[in-house]
Structure 1
Amino acid sequence: MTTPLITLDVPYGTGSDPMHLLDIYEDPDRTDDATRAAIILVHGGGWFRGDKAKEKTLASFLVEAGYLVFVPNYRLAPDHIFPAGREDVLAAAEWARASQHAFDRARVAFFGGSAGGNLVVEAAITTGCPAVSWSGIFDLAGIISATDATAAEPTTQDLDAMRSADINQTGRDDAFLRWVILQEVGGDRSALAAASTTPRVTETTGPVYLANSLAEFVPVSDAAALQNALSSAGVASTLQLVPGTHHAEGYLQQALHGSLAFLADALRRPDSKGSPS
């Protein structure tokens, strides 16, 4: 496997917020290759935690597949509620396009899991770029409405002591899911409609690869509803359903092959029948 060249903590955007930093992963032999495609890789963490540093493994797989990879941090709830995270991911993508790094500006995609899976579909809606979303959370208002009989409570898991891929692997936890969603809107239920991704899909949304475990933390019905919305808008999508309770990067080995095949197709150069990179 190619050992990526990693550049850490590069400021993006025009502000001085300490969260506005990104890491760059690339093949050291292709730093001047303007034909390669780029991926904006967005970490998860329920919008309230997480860091770009946890994406080293997935970023390295993407470099091995031929991509230049930008991994941003973004402002977190509850201090920075929707749409702060979305604004930051879009700002990081714009910074990448304006940077001196060599890549094909016409071939950019977004990739993320969990809250990152939500943010990359938000980016696909805004930019029309392709997105790969693992265990994304989309219909925030619908999930809260459907679980109103359950109190919103934080998880009992020691998140700081766990690997990212091991978090929330025990199946449905409506109390924690509700708590996570309400954090993203600062507890303001009136903001849930605006923060819900599914109703805002349009015909200009980029194609989306969705993955979700059948019995995991995020209800599979949420991904299915997003796929229905994409289909109704005439937008291509794939939904991979993974057996078990694994969440997002917990099923990396099962979902990576299909995700890379989707990216290769979505980012293929118009004059190329092979790899996009």
Structure 2
Amino acid sequence: MTQGLDIALIQTRTPATAAAGLAHVEPLIRQAAAEGARFILTPEGSNFLEQRRGLREEALSDEGEDAAVLGLQALAAELGVWLLIGSAIVRSGVPGDARAANRSLLVDPTGAITARYDKLHVFDVDLAGGETYRESASVRPGDAAKLADTPWGRLGLTICYDVRFPHLHRALAKAGAGMIAVPAAFTRPTGEAHWETLLRARAIETGAFVLAPAQGGRHEDGRQTWGRSLVVDPWGVVIAKADHDEPGVLHARLDLGAVDRVRASIPALSHDRTFDPPQ
């Protein structure tokens, strides 16, 4: 495993169809590769973002037929890079369940999908400003955590709302993840209040790099997302950050040796104790 890794996070404002989503993200990925990134990560909902029911159903397809997924596989092969499609909204493939999967896909430099992860925790909430989200109505949650092998070590896969569940990230770290991806489409109210704090906490707790590409701005369906993509090192230091909502490329160089150094200095992952539940 090499000790240095040049990565790029792609910040997007994804349109409402997969063809438009591909056209939106492709130039940014090309830019990231031309600027030296070997591992490129896109946000949650990188193929399309659309919550209006009829339009969403029109945009939805199977993973193997989605224009953005197929286009991004071909692009990874053309550019010779590792690419994490932070998530694609695709049909779940589960008989009798019409809901979609919110699925993260790791693509290798041949264009092959080497790992899949379906978002475990779905976002059902009523916000103080009157916004209501019921992701469970349209997205079937996954049922398994996922580690992926890369040339630079093991990558833990999570998506957006998963960041609020520390035990998931701890389990990934204890299973060998030195990097954890958190692609997201955070709402503006929750993003402004919690986004950076949660990501830094997950990095500190796990002694892992946290890589968080985000959606940003007002989307075609009216939702507003927070942006501010960022990279946090295993000590909890933000080493790269977008300070805006606009589409763009955020580069970072990871010193992968920092994972072992931090975990040796604070070996909390090996200090778990069993205890009686609270009464």
Could you tell me the TM-score, scaled by structure 2's length?
0.36
Higher strand share goes to which structure?
2
The alignment's TM-score, normalised by the length of structure 1, stands at: 0.37
When you count helix as a share of all residues, which structure comes out higher?
A: 1
